[in-house]
Amino acid sequence: MRGSVYYQSAELTKAIFCAGATKIERIDPTHPHFQMVSSYKTMESYRNVWNNFFNYLKEHWYIKDSEQISSEHISAYMDYKIEYYPSKQYLEKISAALGKLEIALKLYSQNKYGEAKPYDFSIRQVILNHARNFELVADNYHNRAYADPLLLIQALREDSWHQIAARIEYEGGARLEGCALIKKEQLLGFKYDPITNEHKGVLLTKEKGGKVGEVFISQKTYERLDACIALYDVFKLKRSDYYQAIKKACQILNIPSEGTHGLRWNFAKRRMFEYAKAGYSYADSLQRVSYEMKHNRASITEHYLGERIQ
């Protein structure tokens, strides 16, 4: 589909919106109004989510045609939103809107081509359930950085791969997807970090939207990671086990669990301080930390410093 984000969401709205459609009609699989939206307010709410999602696809995936959306994009967008610790209600609204987007795309393709394309966005519900089960959503917003991240990391088993992953997130700002699977070719050796005047291990990761970049970690963490890969050919985590390990460590320390991503918040705060010590301006520091965390906009970093972004 050609056209701006707002034109495309308008066309999809036409495909699924039917003012006055009754509930009986909307739940009847044999009725033409099956699964349609009949409330102006609800439709406006869904369309706002669609616009946000389409803009995300343009920025991070370089996709401008909503007909090209796949379950991979749905999964990435849900994970992207979870990264900012949304409220449970907000993530539920996103999931519902994406569910209606699936139906709208099917109806649009049916009207345009005479046959509905096989869109399947059911992964959204899997991710939503996972986020609720592992407390990755909140009843209200708060800063997710741990008060003492090193103490938390030490509370993980010393010989566990979970501790290595936690250090990669804390030291390098990597997302979980960037450290859950690491291969030998991703280890780039050691480089000088001019911001801290230290030699650090360099890990190449591919994260959100396919963005590739270097992650700087301590020499000790790099050597432990290298040793694991030398023994097992690959460093691989089971995400649910890692979540549980972090949660259990927080219970032992009697501190609130902010999930694995809380360590990334700690990275942002520490890295901003390191840039400041190196003489960089606040604005320049925001942008550079944003790039290191594989974002584009400097304003994203401010989110990790205490300002909420939806």
pLDDT number for residue 87: 76
Summarize pLDDT for 36-74 with one digit per residue, the tens. 999 999 999 999 999 999 999 998 888 999 999 999 899
Per-residue pLDDT for 140 more than 70? no
Per-residue pLDDT for 3 more than 90? yes
286 is written with which tokens?
């925001």
pLDDT number for residue 208: 63
pLDDT number for residue 299: 72
CATH 1.10.443.10 domain span(s) along the chain:
149-304
Is it true that domain 149-304 has CATH number 1.10.760.10?
no
CATH 1.10.150 domain span(s) along the chain:
5-133
For the domain 5-133, what is the CATH code?
1.10.150
Q: Please, are residues 69 and 50 in contact by the beta-carbon 8 Å criterion? A: no
pLDDT number for residue 13: 97
Q: Please, are residues 280 and 161 in contact by the beta-carbon 8 Å criterion? A: no
Summarize pLDDT for 146-165 with one digit per residue, the tens. 999 999 999 998 778 999 99
DSSP code string of 80-105: HHHTT--BHHHHHHHHHHHHHHHHHH
Q: Please, are residues 121 and 99 in contact by the beta-carbon 8 Å criterion? A: yes
CA pair distance 248, 11, nearest whole angstrom: 48
